[in-house]
Amino acid sequence: MIDFSILADHMDKYLLGFGNTLKASLLALFFSFVLGVIVAVMRISPYKLLNWVGTVFVEFVRNIPLLLIAFIFFYGLRFNGFLAGTFALSIYTASFIAEAIRAGIQSVDKGQTEAARSSGLTYIQTMRYIILPQAIKIVIPPLGNQFINLVKNSSILGVIAGLDLMYYGDTIAAKTYVTFDVYIFVAMFYLILTIPLSYFVRYLEWRLAKSY
């Protein structure tokens, strides 16, 4: 049987870790989305330099472990654990978001881009007002999956003393000499974050399908 006294006795630490996990996830979600959009636009840019920079970013970041990126910020740049983990999450997730949005952009009829450019809009204006709003709607399902993965990947903060759920789970387990029960409660707090997000993504998919 699960010992619920562990949860009651260490609720303050669980809640602190939960709050830091939520904070890191929200910050990383925002920054990864913004960076992902920028990189996606660079990837399909007619300017070769921008295209090359976007491609190098995606191929480099996607093909190295998230933990290694976190170590670069934590040990190499001397950021504290929370900032190192949040920046690593943002950059790592942005590479996947960029590819999803790029696929969405490419699925939009090219005639719309040509019409926008011929009407006098710049490349950036065309992307901002015409193409990106349509592309993002198309890729809501994969974006939602990336955001859910981001929340789960936030456990990387525990490895670099990021004061998240996993970090406090480790400290509670070390103090109580109990592992299974401690991490069951850690998993419960992660589910509090991921299940509502999953249902929200499904709702957006339903609304999108209904509008079509």
Domains in the chain: ranges and CATH? 4-211 (1.10.3720.10)
Does the pLDDT of residue 35 top 80, yes or no?
yes
Alpha helices in 81-179 (DSSP H): 81-107, 110-118, 123-126, 132-138, 140-153, 165-176
Q: What percent of the chain has pLDDT over 90?
A: 71
**Average of per-residue pLDDT values in the chain:** 92
Whether 108 shows a pLDDT value over 90: the answer reads no
Min mean pLDDT across 119-123, 187-191, 205-209 is at 205-209
Report the distance separating Cα 133 and Cα 116, nearest Å.
14
Residue 160 DSSP code: G
Statement: residue 111 has pLDDT above 70:
yes
Q: How far apart are CA 164 and CA 13, in angstroms?
A: 9
> Has residue 132 got a pLDDT over 80?
yes
Cα-based torsion angle of the residue sequence 67, 100, 26, 89 in order, rounded to the nearest 10 degrees? 10
Q: pLDDT band at residue 116, thresholds of 50, 70 and 90?
A: confident
Give pLDDT, residue 211: 67
How far apart CA 199 and CA 202 sit, in angstroms, is: 5
Say if residue 109's pLDDT is above 90.
no
Mean pLDDT of 100-121: 86
pLDDT at 87: 97
Which pLDDT tens digit goes with each residue over 52-94?
999 999 999 999 999 999 999 999 999 999 999 999 999 999 9
